[in-house]
Chain A
Amino acid sequence: MECKDFKDFIGETNLSGLTDPPDELKQHLRKCGSCSKEYQEARGLGDLLASVKTPDIKDEYWNGYLGGVMSKIKNTKPGSTLADFYKTLLIPAAAALLLFGVYFSDTYMPLVDEMIYGDESYTSSLDFIMNEHSEAMSKYLLNTDAIFLTETLFPDTESDSGTDIRNNQ
């Protein structure tokens, strides 16, 4: 065995496997001081690591351990994924949101309209527009005259060309 072979042997062997080296290794270590030193260091490290191995555990502990694992998986299906977890939350959440939306629109939207438009007769903003500007809207619908609509809703507005819109009819 050469020094290179010794180093390969050390690298390929777990430290616990150095306690009983093969004969050819022993022969090399008798002749090579540096390899012998390296071997002793590796043996020393192996002995130190062996001193901190996991202590032996009582047999009865393992029954409790197994019971702990089985109770953890009790309410789980094998192969369940995060997607399944979200699905179980998503459907009830979507249903709750839908119900809330319906309740909110039926109960609160009329109150919102009242706050905005100040008149209980207006149940929607569309009603407001239609009632306030009904004359203008019906004329618009009859004449399809956008200029007339602009004039009615915004009587003081001038066109982009700077001339009075009314004068352009």
Chain B
Amino acid sequence: MKTRKATKGIEIGSSMRLSDMSDEALVEKTLEGSDAAFGELTKRYMQKSYSIAFQMVGDFETAQDLSQDVFLKIYKSLHKFNFKSKFFSWFYKILMNHCINYTRRRKALKFLAFSEIFQSSNNALDKNDILKYSDEETTEKQRMVRMAVDQLSPNHKQVIVMCDLEGFPQEEVADILGMAIGTVRSRLHYARGNLKKILKKYLNEI
């Protein structure tokens, strides 16, 4: 199979399918002008990024908007990717920062009594259109858990979401957030402690 060296030293086979290429090779191809390569990257990350955004903000429509905006941000910033780190670390870092910035703005505007801006519009995404299984009535317990997670500080929320909700290994989370593994574990320890306190108050359980 003939290969050629791309500008960043990444091997790209001339007859390689996009689905067989590494993330970094797809970035390289996108910068050369291939929107199809970016489409492949989007397919790989869309479900996880949507899920993380949903866990960070709590509603389907906002999660869709935020995660799609992140792909646009990534597309515009591709020239800044230095190929020294893994693409997935860079991607998730941008996603987390975008979600945290949104939650901070939302809290600030709620404080200023502009909360109607963040209420679902009449044309809101109907979750029954997108869920695989019929949407059972969300229990009070589930609402309380979601509220408790929402009350955590951004630093605690992001480690709880990435480790305990989305199942990322702690070493990967450390790489994504650019911190030592000890810091991740410390934040996780305090985040779990705070979550237990909040939930004990609401649910009288745990």
Contact = CB atoms under 8 A, between A and B. Distances in A.
Interface of A: 11-12, 14-16, 41-42, 44-46, 48-49, 51-58, 61-62, 65-66, 68-70, 72-73, 76, 78-81
6 contacts: A42-B192, A56-B132, A70-B39, A73-B72, A78-B76, A81-B79
Contact of B149 (A11, A52, A79, A81): A52
B125 to A, nearest CB: 9
- Specify the main secondary structure of chain B where it touches its partner: helix
B199 interface: yes
Interface of B: 30-31, 33, 35, 38-39, 42-43, 46-47, 50-51, 54-55, 64, 68-69, 71-72, 75-80, 127, 129-133, 135, 141-142, 145-146, 149, 160, 163-165, 167, 169-170, 185, 188-189, 192, 195-196, 199, 203, 205-206
B164 A15 contact: yes
B131 A58 contact: yes
Interface pairs A-B: 4 shortest CB-CB = A79-B79, A56-B132, A54-B51, A15-B164
B133 A56 contact: yes
A133 to B, nearest CB: 63
Contacts of A66: 39, 42-43, 46
A76 B31 CA distance: 12
Given A53-B165, A57-B50, A72-B69, 8 more contacts: A11-B185, A48-B199, A48-B203, A52-B165, A62-B43, A69-B39, A73-B38, A79-B76
B141 to A, nearest CB: 7
A72 B72 CA distance: 7
A11 B188 contact: yes
Nearest to A40: B206
Contacts of A12: 170, 185
